[in-house]
Structure 1
Amino acid sequence: MLQMDPMRPLDPALPITPQLTQRLRDRIIRNHLKPGDRISETEIAKVYDVSRQPVREAFIKLADQGLLLIRPQRRTVVSRIAYQDVLDARFLREAIEADIVRLLAKTRDDALIGTLRAQIELQKRVHADDLETFTQLDEQFHRMLADAVGKAGTWSFVEGVKAQMDRVRFLSLFDYPMALLIEQHTQIVDAVEARDLDRAEENARQHLRLMLDYLPGVIAANPSFFDLPEGGLAPSVNTPTLGGEYT
Protein backbone atom coordinates (compact mmCIF):
# COMPACT_ATOMS: atom_id res chain seq x y z
CA MET A 1 0.00 0.00 0.00
CA LEU A 2 1.17 3.53 -0.76
CA GLN A 3 2.04 5.49 2.35
CA MET A 4 -0.03 8.67 2.17
CA ASP A 5 1.22 10.54 5.26
CA PRO A 6 -1.20 8.61 7.52
CA MET A 7 0.07 10.58 10.54
CA ARG A 8 -1.67 13.66 9.17
CA PRO A 9 -5.40 12.92 9.32
CA LEU A 10 -7.82 15.07 7.41
CA ASP A 11 -9.81 17.65 9.35
CA PRO A 12 -13.41 16.37 9.56
CA ALA A 13 -14.65 19.91 10.23
CA LEU A 14 -13.54 21.01 6.76
CA PRO A 15 -14.69 19.85 3.32
CA ILE A 16 -12.94 16.57 2.57
CA THR A 17 -12.52 16.79 -1.22
CA PRO A 18 -10.38 19.98 -1.24
CA GLN A 19 -8.16 18.53 1.50
CA LEU A 20 -7.67 15.28 -0.39
CA THR A 21 -7.04 17.12 -3.64
CA GLN A 22 -4.36 19.32 -2.08
CA ARG A 23 -2.77 16.43 -0.19
CA LEU A 24 -2.47 14.26 -3.30
CA ARG A 25 -1.46 17.21 -5.47
CA ASP A 26 1.41 18.02 -3.12
CA ARG A 27 2.64 14.44 -3.16
CA ILE A 28 2.56 14.27 -6.95
CA ILE A 29 4.30 17.64 -7.37
CA ARG A 30 7.00 16.60 -4.90
CA ASN A 31 7.37 13.32 -6.81
CA HIS A 32 6.51 11.22 -3.78
CA LEU A 33 3.99 9.76 -6.22
CA LYS A 34 5.88 9.27 -9.48
CA PRO A 35 4.71 9.06 -13.09
CA GLY A 36 3.24 5.64 -13.72
CA ASP A 37 2.43 4.93 -10.06
CA ARG A 38 -0.97 3.30 -9.73
CA ILE A 39 -3.44 4.56 -7.14
CA SER A 40 -7.00 3.51 -6.47
CA GLU A 41 -10.06 5.07 -4.91
CA THR A 42 -10.32 2.16 -2.50
CA GLU A 43 -6.73 2.46 -1.37
CA ILE A 44 -6.84 6.24 -0.84
CA ALA A 45 -10.19 6.02 0.95
CA LYS A 46 -8.73 3.44 3.34
CA VAL A 47 -5.58 5.46 4.05
CA TYR A 48 -7.54 8.63 4.86
CA ASP A 49 -10.54 6.86 6.40
CA VAL A 50 -13.10 8.47 4.09
CA SER A 51 -15.71 7.24 1.65
CA ARG A 52 -14.85 6.74 -2.01
CA GLN A 53 -16.99 9.67 -3.21
CA PRO A 54 -14.63 12.51 -2.15
CA VAL A 55 -11.70 10.46 -3.43
CA ARG A 56 -13.39 10.13 -6.81
CA GLU A 57 -14.01 13.89 -6.88
CA ALA A 58 -10.37 14.60 -5.96
CA PHE A 59 -9.17 12.28 -8.72
CA ILE A 60 -11.28 14.16 -11.27
CA LYS A 61 -9.87 17.52 -10.17
CA LEU A 62 -6.31 16.19 -10.36
CA ALA A 63 -6.99 14.71 -13.79
CA ASP A 64 -8.19 18.15 -14.93
CA GLN A 65 -4.82 19.54 -13.79
CA GLY A 66 -3.01 16.91 -15.84
CA LEU A 67 -1.66 15.09 -12.79
CA LEU A 68 -3.67 11.86 -13.02
CA LEU A 69 -4.73 9.69 -15.91
CA ILE A 70 -8.06 8.02 -15.13
CA ARG A 71 -8.86 4.88 -17.09
CA PRO A 72 -12.41 3.82 -16.20
CA GLN A 73 -12.80 0.20 -15.23
CA ARG A 74 -9.03 -0.24 -15.43
CA ARG A 75 -6.73 1.86 -13.28
CA THR A 76 -5.72 5.38 -12.35
CA VAL A 77 -2.07 6.33 -12.71
CA VAL A 78 0.04 9.38 -12.04
CA SER A 79 0.58 11.09 -15.37
CA ARG A 80 3.90 11.92 -16.90
CA ILE A 81 5.04 15.54 -16.94
CA ALA A 82 3.79 17.15 -20.12
CA TYR A 83 6.72 19.08 -21.58
CA GLN A 84 4.56 21.50 -23.53
CA ASP A 85 2.44 22.21 -20.44
CA VAL A 86 5.61 23.14 -18.56
CA LEU A 87 6.54 25.66 -21.26
CA ASP A 88 3.01 27.05 -21.46
CA ALA A 89 2.74 27.49 -17.69
CA ARG A 90 6.10 29.22 -17.47
CA PHE A 91 5.17 31.51 -20.39
CA LEU A 92 1.88 32.43 -18.73
CA ARG A 93 3.45 32.98 -15.33
CA GLU A 94 6.10 35.28 -16.75
CA ALA A 95 3.52 37.40 -18.54
CA ILE A 96 1.39 37.76 -15.41
CA GLU A 97 4.18 38.42 -12.92
CA ALA A 98 5.89 40.93 -15.21
CA ASP A 99 2.73 43.04 -15.09
CA ILE A 100 2.39 42.53 -11.35
CA VAL A 101 5.84 43.94 -10.57
CA ARG A 102 5.23 46.87 -12.92
CA LEU A 103 2.13 47.71 -10.90
CA LEU A 104 4.11 47.38 -7.68
CA ALA A 105 6.81 49.73 -8.96
CA LYS A 106 4.21 52.24 -10.09
CA THR A 107 2.43 52.29 -6.73
CA ARG A 108 5.40 51.72 -4.44
CA ASP A 109 4.44 50.96 -0.84
CA ASP A 110 7.25 51.44 1.67
CA ALA A 111 5.63 49.10 4.19
CA LEU A 112 5.43 46.38 1.54
CA ILE A 113 9.07 46.92 0.62
CA GLY A 114 10.02 46.33 4.24
CA THR A 115 7.89 43.18 4.40
CA LEU A 116 9.43 41.80 1.21
CA ARG A 117 12.96 42.49 2.42
CA ALA A 118 12.20 40.75 5.71
CA GLN A 119 10.91 37.77 3.76
CA ILE A 120 14.12 37.70 1.72
CA GLU A 121 16.11 37.68 4.97
CA LEU A 122 14.22 34.53 5.95
CA GLN A 123 15.26 32.99 2.64
CA LYS A 124 18.90 33.80 3.36
CA ARG A 125 18.73 32.00 6.71
CA VAL A 126 17.55 28.72 5.20
CA HIS A 127 20.19 26.01 5.37
CA ALA A 128 21.48 24.90 1.98
CA ASP A 129 20.10 21.39 2.58
CA ASP A 130 16.61 22.56 3.53
CA LEU A 131 15.25 22.94 0.04
CA GLU A 132 11.65 22.25 1.02
CA THR A 133 11.61 25.28 3.32
CA PHE A 134 13.26 27.48 0.72
CA THR A 135 10.70 26.40 -1.88
CA GLN A 136 7.87 27.33 0.49
CA LEU A 137 9.41 30.76 1.10
CA ASP A 138 9.94 31.27 -2.62
CA GLU A 139 6.28 30.48 -3.26
CA GLN A 140 5.25 32.83 -0.47
CA PHE A 141 7.38 35.64 -1.91
CA HIS A 142 5.66 35.47 -5.29
CA ARG A 143 2.24 35.20 -3.68
CA MET A 144 2.98 38.32 -1.65
CA LEU A 145 3.72 40.25 -4.84
CA ALA A 146 0.34 39.31 -6.29
CA ASP A 147 -1.55 39.98 -3.06
CA ALA A 148 0.02 43.44 -2.77
CA VAL A 149 -1.63 44.64 -5.99
CA GLY A 150 -4.96 42.97 -5.31
CA LYS A 151 -4.29 40.04 -7.65
CA ALA A 152 -4.77 37.16 -5.22
CA GLY A 153 -7.32 35.67 -7.61
CA THR A 154 -4.82 35.85 -10.44
CA TRP A 155 -2.24 34.03 -8.33
CA SER A 156 -4.79 31.32 -7.55
CA PHE A 157 -5.28 30.92 -11.29
CA VAL A 158 -1.52 30.66 -11.83
CA GLU A 159 -1.29 28.02 -9.09
CA GLY A 160 -3.94 26.00 -10.88
CA VAL A 161 -2.04 25.84 -14.17
CA LYS A 162 1.57 25.53 -13.03
CA ALA A 163 1.41 22.06 -11.51
CA GLN A 164 3.64 20.53 -14.21
CA MET A 165 6.13 23.39 -13.83
CA ASP A 166 6.26 22.74 -10.09
CA ARG A 167 6.99 19.04 -10.68
CA VAL A 168 10.04 20.05 -12.70
CA ARG A 169 11.13 22.44 -9.98
CA PHE A 170 11.11 19.70 -7.34
CA LEU A 171 13.04 17.38 -9.62
CA SER A 172 15.72 20.04 -10.03
CA LEU A 173 15.90 21.36 -6.46
CA PHE A 174 19.43 20.15 -5.81
CA ASP A 175 20.67 21.84 -8.97
CA TYR A 176 18.95 25.18 -8.41
CA PRO A 177 21.28 27.96 -7.24
CA MET A 178 19.58 29.16 -4.07
CA ALA A 179 21.88 32.18 -3.75
CA LEU A 180 21.08 33.30 -7.29
CA LEU A 181 17.33 33.02 -6.71
CA ILE A 182 17.64 35.15 -3.57
CA GLU A 183 19.72 37.71 -5.47
CA GLN A 184 17.08 37.87 -8.19
CA HIS A 185 14.34 38.37 -5.59
CA THR A 186 16.41 41.22 -4.14
CA GLN A 187 16.85 42.81 -7.57
CA ILE A 188 13.09 42.73 -8.14
CA VAL A 189 12.45 44.49 -4.81
CA ASP A 190 15.25 46.99 -5.49
CA ALA A 191 13.66 47.97 -8.79
CA VAL A 192 10.20 48.23 -7.22
CA GLU A 193 11.58 50.45 -4.46
CA ALA A 194 13.29 52.65 -7.07
CA ARG A 195 10.01 52.88 -9.00
CA ASP A 196 11.85 51.66 -12.08
CA LEU A 197 9.01 49.96 -13.93
CA ASP A 198 11.09 48.66 -16.83
CA ARG A 199 13.85 47.26 -14.64
CA ALA A 200 11.33 45.62 -12.29
CA GLU A 201 9.64 43.92 -15.23
CA GLU A 202 12.90 42.78 -16.81
CA ASN A 203 14.19 41.42 -13.50
CA ALA A 204 10.99 39.42 -13.05
CA ARG A 205 11.21 38.02 -16.59
CA GLN A 206 14.83 36.95 -16.19
CA HIS A 207 14.00 35.33 -12.84
CA LEU A 208 11.20 33.26 -14.31
CA ARG A 209 13.29 32.19 -17.31
CA LEU A 210 15.92 30.58 -15.10
CA MET A 211 14.18 27.23 -15.10
CA LEU A 212 14.64 26.99 -18.87
CA ASP A 213 18.39 26.65 -18.29
CA TYR A 214 17.79 23.56 -16.14
CA LEU A 215 14.91 21.91 -18.00
CA PRO A 216 16.96 19.93 -20.58
CA GLY A 217 19.19 18.51 -17.82
CA VAL A 218 16.21 17.52 -15.70
CA ILE A 219 14.65 15.72 -18.66
CA ALA A 220 17.92 13.95 -19.47
CA ALA A 221 18.20 12.76 -15.86
CA ASN A 222 14.55 11.62 -15.66
CA PRO A 223 13.46 10.70 -19.19
CA SER A 224 10.70 8.32 -18.07
CA PHE A 225 9.02 11.12 -16.12
CA PHE A 226 8.25 13.22 -19.20
CA ASP A 227 5.78 13.20 -22.05
CA LEU A 228 7.86 14.71 -24.84
CA PRO A 229 6.73 15.85 -28.29
CA GLU A 230 7.59 13.72 -31.27
CA GLY A 231 10.87 14.76 -32.79
CA GLY A 232 12.43 15.86 -29.50
CA LEU A 233 12.30 19.01 -27.44
CA ALA A 234 10.53 21.99 -28.92
CA PRO A 235 12.26 25.34 -28.52
CA SER A 236 10.85 27.54 -25.79
CA VAL A 237 9.25 30.78 -26.92
CA ASN A 238 9.38 33.52 -24.30
CA THR A 239 7.39 36.67 -23.98
CA PRO A 240 9.19 39.59 -25.66
CA THR A 241 11.89 41.56 -23.95
CA LEU A 242 11.39 45.26 -23.36
CA GLY A 243 13.18 45.93 -26.62
CA GLY A 244 10.42 44.09 -28.45
CA GLU A 245 12.35 40.97 -29.46
CA TYR A 246 11.71 37.41 -28.32
CA THR A 247 14.56 35.62 -26.55
Structure 2
Amino acid sequence: MNIASHSFFKDAEPSTSVALQVERDLREAIISLSLKPGARLSEQEIADQLRVSRQPVREALIALARANLVEVRPKRGTIVVKISARKMMEARFVRESIETAVVRRACESFDPWVRVTIDENLVRQRAACAASDYTAFRKEDERFHIAIAHGAGCGLAWDVIADIKAHVDRVCNLQLRKAESMPRLIAQHEKIVEAIDSCNAESAAAAMHAHLTSILVDLPAIAAGNPDLFE
Protein backbone atom coordinates (compact mmCIF):
# COMPACT_ATOMS: atom_id res chain seq x y z
CA MET A 1 0.00 0.00 0.00
CA ASN A 2 1.67 3.20 -1.18
CA ILE A 3 -0.24 6.38 -0.42
CA ALA A 4 2.64 8.79 -0.15
CA SER A 5 3.34 8.77 -3.89
CA HIS A 6 -0.16 10.16 -4.47
CA SER A 7 0.06 12.77 -1.72
CA PHE A 8 -1.67 16.09 -2.19
CA PHE A 9 0.01 17.52 0.91
CA LYS A 10 2.30 19.76 -1.14
CA ASP A 11 -0.75 21.24 -2.94
CA ALA A 12 -2.99 21.62 0.10
CA GLU A 13 -4.28 25.01 1.22
CA PRO A 14 -2.75 26.18 4.51
CA SER A 15 -6.21 26.15 6.11
CA THR A 16 -6.88 22.54 5.11
CA SER A 17 -6.96 20.19 8.08
CA VAL A 18 -4.61 17.23 8.22
CA ALA A 19 -7.59 14.85 8.30
CA LEU A 20 -9.01 16.39 5.12
CA GLN A 21 -5.64 16.16 3.40
CA VAL A 22 -5.39 12.47 4.36
CA GLU A 23 -8.93 11.90 3.12
CA ARG A 24 -8.06 13.47 -0.23
CA ASP A 25 -4.94 11.33 -0.55
CA LEU A 26 -6.83 8.14 0.23
CA ARG A 27 -9.74 9.07 -2.03
CA GLU A 28 -7.38 9.64 -4.96
CA ALA A 29 -5.58 6.36 -4.29
CA ILE A 30 -8.92 4.53 -4.24
CA ILE A 31 -10.19 6.22 -7.41
CA SER A 32 -6.91 5.63 -9.27
CA LEU A 33 -7.05 1.99 -8.12
CA SER A 34 -3.65 2.30 -6.46
CA LEU A 35 -5.65 1.02 -3.51
CA LYS A 36 -7.56 -1.81 -5.11
CA PRO A 37 -11.06 -2.87 -4.12
CA GLY A 38 -10.80 -5.40 -1.31
CA ALA A 39 -7.47 -4.04 -0.04
CA ARG A 40 -7.07 -3.94 3.74
CA LEU A 41 -6.06 -0.59 5.20
CA SER A 42 -3.91 -0.12 8.27
CA GLU A 43 -4.26 3.13 10.20
CA GLN A 44 -0.72 2.84 11.44
CA GLU A 45 0.76 2.08 8.02
CA ILE A 46 -1.06 5.02 6.44
CA ALA A 47 0.03 7.30 9.28
CA ASP A 48 3.63 6.19 8.86
CA GLN A 49 3.62 6.74 5.09
CA LEU A 50 2.06 10.20 5.36
CA ARG A 51 4.01 11.09 8.50
CA VAL A 52 0.95 12.03 10.52
CA SER A 53 -0.61 10.72 13.72
CA ARG A 54 -3.29 8.03 13.67
CA GLN A 55 -6.10 10.40 14.68
CA PRO A 56 -6.42 12.26 11.32
CA VAL A 57 -6.15 8.91 9.52
CA ARG A 58 -9.01 7.57 11.63
CA GLU A 59 -11.10 10.67 10.84
CA ALA A 60 -10.33 10.33 7.12
CA LEU A 61 -11.41 6.68 7.10
CA ILE A 62 -14.67 7.56 8.83
CA ALA A 63 -15.36 10.19 6.14
CA LEU A 64 -14.57 7.69 3.39
CA ALA A 65 -16.87 5.16 5.05
CA ARG A 66 -19.69 7.73 4.90
CA ALA A 67 -19.00 8.00 1.17
CA ASN A 68 -19.17 4.18 0.94
CA LEU A 69 -15.61 3.93 -0.37
CA VAL A 70 -14.29 1.95 2.59
CA GLU A 71 -15.90 -0.32 5.12
CA VAL A 72 -14.79 -0.01 8.72
CA ARG A 73 -15.13 -3.33 10.49
CA PRO A 74 -14.74 -3.05 14.27
CA LYS A 75 -11.93 -5.27 15.53
CA ARG A 76 -11.46 -6.63 12.00
CA GLY A 77 -9.96 -3.68 10.21
CA THR A 78 -10.89 -1.47 7.27
CA ILE A 79 -11.17 -2.51 3.62
CA VAL A 80 -11.65 -0.68 0.34
CA VAL A 81 -15.11 -1.60 -0.87
CA LYS A 82 -15.44 -3.34 -4.20
CA ILE A 83 -17.01 -1.50 -7.10
CA SER A 84 -20.78 -1.73 -7.06
CA ALA A 85 -22.38 -1.46 -10.50
CA ARG A 86 -25.66 -0.54 -8.79
CA LYS A 87 -24.16 2.32 -6.76
CA MET A 88 -22.21 3.46 -9.80
CA MET A 89 -25.39 3.68 -11.91
CA GLU A 90 -27.27 5.49 -9.13
CA ALA A 91 -24.44 8.01 -8.75
CA ARG A 92 -24.30 8.49 -12.52
CA PHE A 93 -28.06 9.14 -12.62
CA VAL A 94 -27.79 11.81 -9.91
CA ARG A 95 -24.80 13.39 -11.63
CA GLU A 96 -26.57 13.48 -14.98
CA SER A 97 -29.67 15.08 -13.43
CA ILE A 98 -27.54 17.87 -11.97
CA GLU A 99 -25.13 18.41 -14.86
CA THR A 100 -27.79 18.57 -17.56
CA ALA A 101 -29.48 21.31 -15.50
CA VAL A 102 -26.11 23.05 -15.17
CA VAL A 103 -25.46 23.14 -18.93
CA ARG A 104 -28.95 24.48 -19.52
CA ARG A 105 -28.09 27.31 -17.15
CA ALA A 106 -24.74 27.73 -18.91
CA CYS A 107 -26.60 28.44 -22.14
CA GLU A 108 -28.39 31.35 -20.46
CA SER A 109 -25.24 32.98 -19.06
CA PHE A 110 -21.61 31.92 -18.95
CA ASP A 111 -18.57 33.61 -17.42
CA PRO A 112 -16.30 34.64 -20.37
CA TRP A 113 -13.11 34.22 -18.33
CA VAL A 114 -14.04 30.66 -17.43
CA ARG A 115 -14.83 30.03 -21.09
CA VAL A 116 -11.18 30.84 -21.94
CA THR A 117 -9.95 28.38 -19.33
CA ILE A 118 -12.06 25.65 -20.93
CA ASP A 119 -10.20 26.08 -24.21
CA GLU A 120 -6.94 25.70 -22.30
CA ASN A 121 -8.33 22.65 -20.56
CA LEU A 122 -9.22 21.02 -23.89
CA VAL A 123 -5.64 21.58 -25.07
CA ARG A 124 -4.39 19.72 -21.98
CA GLN A 125 -6.90 16.94 -22.59
CA ARG A 126 -5.57 16.45 -26.11
CA ALA A 127 -1.99 16.42 -24.79
CA ALA A 128 -2.88 13.77 -22.20
CA CYS A 129 -4.57 11.75 -24.92
CA ALA A 130 -1.52 11.99 -27.20
CA ALA A 131 0.67 10.82 -24.31
CA SER A 132 -1.77 8.02 -23.39
CA ASP A 133 -1.73 9.47 -19.88
CA TYR A 134 -5.15 8.44 -18.58
CA THR A 135 -4.38 9.67 -15.05
CA ALA A 136 -3.72 13.21 -16.30
CA PHE A 137 -6.73 12.99 -18.59
CA ARG A 138 -9.04 12.01 -15.73
CA LYS A 139 -7.93 15.06 -13.75
CA GLU A 140 -8.45 17.35 -16.76
CA ASP A 141 -11.86 15.78 -17.34
CA GLU A 142 -12.83 16.67 -13.78
CA ARG A 143 -11.53 20.22 -14.21
CA PHE A 144 -13.61 20.52 -17.38
CA HIS A 145 -16.82 19.71 -15.54
CA ILE A 146 -15.89 21.94 -12.60
CA ALA A 147 -15.28 24.82 -15.03
CA ILE A 148 -18.69 24.39 -16.63
CA ALA A 149 -20.38 24.48 -13.23
CA HIS A 150 -18.49 27.59 -12.16
CA GLY A 151 -18.93 29.28 -15.52
CA ALA A 152 -22.67 28.78 -15.22
CA GLY A 153 -22.63 30.19 -11.69
CA CYS A 154 -23.47 26.78 -10.22
CA GLY A 155 -20.35 25.96 -8.23
CA LEU A 156 -22.44 24.51 -5.41
CA ALA A 157 -23.84 21.94 -7.84
CA TRP A 158 -20.34 20.53 -8.29
CA ASP A 159 -19.89 20.31 -4.53
CA VAL A 160 -22.93 18.01 -4.45
CA ILE A 161 -21.61 15.88 -7.32
CA ALA A 162 -18.07 15.60 -5.96
CA ASP A 163 -19.02 13.42 -3.01
CA ILE A 164 -20.93 10.83 -5.01
CA LYS A 165 -18.99 10.66 -8.24
CA ALA A 166 -16.16 8.54 -6.83
CA HIS A 167 -18.35 5.50 -7.49
CA VAL A 168 -18.35 6.46 -11.17
CA ASP A 169 -14.71 7.57 -11.21
CA ARG A 170 -13.29 4.13 -10.48
CA VAL A 171 -15.14 2.71 -13.47
CA CYS A 172 -14.09 5.72 -15.57
CA ASN A 173 -10.49 5.04 -14.62
CA LEU A 174 -10.83 1.56 -16.07
CA GLN A 175 -12.66 2.90 -19.13
CA LEU A 176 -9.87 5.39 -19.89
CA ARG A 177 -7.36 2.55 -20.27
CA LYS A 178 -9.04 1.66 -23.56
CA ALA A 179 -7.24 3.42 -26.41
CA GLU A 180 -10.41 4.73 -28.03
CA SER A 181 -11.91 6.21 -24.85
CA MET A 182 -10.01 9.50 -24.56
CA PRO A 183 -10.54 10.70 -28.17
CA ARG A 184 -14.24 9.87 -27.83
CA LEU A 185 -14.57 11.78 -24.56
CA ILE A 186 -12.76 14.81 -25.97
CA ALA A 187 -15.18 14.87 -28.91
CA GLN A 188 -18.09 14.74 -26.44
CA HIS A 189 -16.60 17.61 -24.43
CA GLU A 190 -16.21 19.67 -27.58
CA LYS A 191 -19.85 19.06 -28.48
CA ILE A 192 -20.97 20.25 -25.03
CA VAL A 193 -18.90 23.44 -25.39
CA GLU A 194 -20.21 24.04 -28.90
CA ALA A 195 -23.79 23.86 -27.65
CA ILE A 196 -23.04 26.26 -24.78
CA ASP A 197 -21.40 28.69 -27.21
CA SER A 198 -24.50 28.49 -29.39
CA CYS A 199 -26.76 29.09 -26.35
CA ASN A 200 -28.67 25.97 -27.35
CA ALA A 201 -29.95 24.51 -24.10
CA GLU A 202 -31.56 21.45 -25.66
CA SER A 203 -28.42 20.51 -27.57
CA ALA A 204 -26.26 21.12 -24.50
CA ALA A 205 -28.43 18.89 -22.32
CA ALA A 206 -28.49 16.19 -25.00
CA ALA A 207 -24.71 16.36 -25.37
CA MET A 208 -24.19 16.09 -21.61
CA HIS A 209 -26.64 13.18 -21.43
CA ALA A 210 -24.77 11.35 -24.21
CA HIS A 211 -21.46 12.05 -22.49
CA LEU A 212 -22.48 10.81 -19.05
CA THR A 213 -24.33 7.73 -20.32
CA SER A 214 -21.54 6.51 -22.61
CA ILE A 215 -19.94 4.68 -19.69
CA LEU A 216 -23.00 2.43 -19.46
CA VAL A 217 -22.16 1.03 -22.89
CA ASP A 218 -18.69 0.01 -21.69
CA LEU A 219 -19.72 -1.17 -18.21
CA PRO A 220 -20.51 -4.83 -19.03
CA ALA A 221 -17.14 -5.34 -20.75
CA ILE A 222 -15.28 -3.50 -17.97
CA ALA A 223 -16.93 -5.61 -15.27
CA ALA A 224 -16.31 -8.83 -17.20
CA GLY A 225 -12.65 -7.94 -17.70
CA ASN A 226 -12.09 -7.03 -14.04
CA PRO A 227 -14.24 -9.45 -12.00
CA ASP A 228 -11.98 -9.18 -8.94
CA LEU A 229 -12.71 -5.44 -8.64
CA PHE A 230 -16.51 -5.70 -8.68
CA GLU A 231 -19.04 -6.98 -6.19
TM-score by length of 1: 0.85
Which is worse superposed, 100-109 or 9-18? 9-18
User: What residue in structure 2 maps to residue 232 of structure 1?
Assistant: none
Deviation track 1:47-104 (CA, whole Å, cap 9, x = no partner) reads 2222211111111011111111111111111111121110011101111111111111
Of residues 136, 140, 143 in structure 1, which corresponds to 2:139?
136
Of residues 170, 179, 185 in structure 2, which corresponds to 1:181?
185
> How far apart are residue 197 of structure 1 and its match?
1.1
- In structure 2, stretches of 5+ residues that fail to align are none
Inter-partner Cα distance in structure 2 for 1:9 and 1:162: 19
Change (3 A) 1:209 1:6: closer
Of residues 198, 202, 222 in structure 1, which corresponds to 2:202?
198
How many residues of Structure 1 are paired with residues of Structure 2 in the alignment?
Answer: 226
User: What residue in structure 2 maps to residue 84 of structure 1?
Assistant: 86
Inter-partner Cα distance in structure 2 for 1:121 and 1:6: 26
User: What residue in structure 2 maps to residue 212 of structure 1?
Assistant: 216
Of residues 155, 165, 171 in structure 2, which corresponds to 1:162?
165
Change (3 A) 1:211 1:8: closer
User: What residue in structure 1 maps to residue 122 of structure 2?
Assistant: 120
> How far apart are residue 8 of structure 1 and its match?
4.8
Identity between Structure 1 and Structure 2 (%): 36
> How far apart are residue 191 of structure 1 and its match?
1.1
* Residue identity matched to 2:59: E
Q: 1:39-54 counterparts in 2 under 5 A? A: 39-54=41-56
Deviation track 1:185-232 (CA, whole Å, cap 9, x = no partner) reads 1111111111111111111111111101111111001112112xxxxx
- Alpha-carbon contact 1:35-1:225 (below 8 Å) kept: yes
Q: 1:19-58 counterparts in 2 under 5 A? A: 19-58=21-60
User: What residue in structure 2 maps to residue 62 of structure 1?
Assistant: 64
Inter-partner Cα distance in structure 1 for 2:9 and 2:195: 42
Greater C-alpha Rg? 1
Inter-partner Cα distance in structure 2 for 1:148 and 1:100: 10
Deviation track 1:8-61 (CA, whole Å, cap 9, x = no partner) reads 584695411000000011001111111111111122122222221111111101
Matched, 1:5 2:13: no
Moved over 6 A (4+): none
- Alpha-carbon contact 1:81-1:167 (below 8 Å) kept: yes
* Residue identity matched to 1:15: S
- Alpha-carbon contact 1:89-1:165 (below 8 Å) kept: yes
> How far apart are residue 115 of structure 1 and its match?
3.4
- Alpha-carbon contact 1:9-1:48 (below 8 Å) kept: no
Change (3 A) 1:128 1:6: closer
Tell me, what secondary structure is at the counterpart of 1:61?
Answer: helix
Change (3 A) 1:210 1:153: same
Could you say which structure has the higher helix fraction?
Answer: 2
Change (3 A) 1:122 1:8: closer
* Residue identity matched to 2:185: L
- In structure 1, stretches of 5+ residues that fail to align are 228-247
Matched, 1:153 2:156: yes
